[in-house]
Amino acid sequence: MRNYTFRPLTEADLPLMRRWLETAHVKVWWPDADKQIALIEKYMDDPQININVVSLIDRPFAYLHDHDARAFGMPQYADLPHGARVMATFVGDNDFMGQGHSVGYIEAHVNSIRVKYPMVAVGPGTTDTRAISIYRQARFMNRRLATTSEGRLVQVMTHL
């Protein structure tokens, strides 16, 4: 396993986040860079959510956050057990696409937080077959289809 590092996102990372959010492959699933940056800024110092920059050999290449499944009233996660974590992520640097890094850093992060939490869940859009495949490779299992508060259909997947 590669030596991925996870460090808290800081204000100095916001230009990098904007650049990543404006790339075509990220924009499809994380639309409206201004809105996403505003949400990152809003929650950057919130103790309920861990917002990280993922790096390999000191080169940042991905965004990842996790939080308690009940922290933000997301209906798609309402049935998860107490203490479950929800995770969302994207690879921002095109140079890291298609090389297995997504599976690698997701597994590394899940392994580190599973020490403290009973379950980790994700909720990719049902048409995001690439993300669903990556999560399956990282040993997530389909739990159920659910609707978000915005009306989007997602595939809730869990790592037990």
3-state helix, strand, coil in the chain (%, to 5): 35, 30, 35
Q: For residue 94, what pLDDT is reported?
A: 87
Please give the class, per CATH, of domain 4-159: alpha beta
Dihedral pair phi/psi, residue 134, rounded to 5°: -65, -45
Domain positions in the chain: 4-159
Find, among 91, 79, 152, 73, the residue nearest to 121 by Cα. 79
pLDDT by residue (tens digit) across 77-135? 999 999 999 999 999 998 899 888 999 999 999 999 999 999 999 999 999 999 999 99
> In angstroms, rounded to a whole number, what is the distance separating the alpha carbons of residues 27 and 9?
20
> In angstroms, rounded to a whole number, what is the distance separating the alpha carbons of residues 100 and 47?
30
- B/e letters for 3-36, b = 16+ CB within 10 Å, e = fewer, are ebebeebeeebeebbeebbebeebeeebeebeeb
Query: Is the Cβ–Cβ distance between 67 and 86 less than 8 Å?
Result: yes
pLDDT surpassing 60 at residue 1: no
pLDDT by residue (tens digit) across 27-64? 988 889 999 999 999 999 999 999 999 999 999 999 99
Tell me the two tokens of residue 117. 């939490």
